[in-house]
Structure 1
Amino acid sequence: MDAQLVFTLGQQALTQLLTVAAPLLLTALGVGLVISIFQAATQINEATLSFVPKIVAAMLVLMLVGPWMITTLVDFIRRLLMMIPQVVG
């Protein structure tokens, strides 16, 4: 196994990580932004107000995008496992 292959696999792993985590992160970011604008407009400074909507939104996104996330990760791991004989031997 040469260094180029290690760097390529690391880059692919980070790309997969960002691709799979993006829906959850962007949803939490959007909901947090909306809640913070609401808090600024109404001057309600309650820290716990943003947690419940973020959790509900994350659960909805997981229900909608969860199967795609799992299949994407399983396909990537399957490709890595199939590469083991080529890399070692």
Structure 2
Amino acid sequence: MADTLTGPVPEAPDAVPEFPMPRAAGCPFDPPPALRELQERAPPTRVRLWDGTEPWLVTRHADQRALLGDPRVGADTDSPGYPPSPRA
């Protein structure tokens, strides 16, 4: 995984997928089809949350391990840019 998360910035707002993604009918534990597609074709990618922010979504196990092992990454919810909690 690269040292920084970089990638093309989508030109159209619709190019960034909404998150969470709708699930298909069937087993409630199956990942949404759009998420499966991202896992197969995309490295870490931007997604749009309910409040319009666009954090990174990391879908692949190897990328997640690399990210979680990086000392620059943390879970301090008071850090600037940390994603907000969903609406209540």
**Bin of the TM-score, shorter chain as denominator length:** under 0.3
Greater relative contact order: 1 or 2 (C-alpha under 8 angstroms, separation 6 or more)?
Answer: 1
Q: TM-score, normalised by structure 1?
A: 0.21
Q: For the pair shown, which has the larger CA radius of gyration, 1 or 2? A: 1
**More helix per residue: 1 or 2?**
1
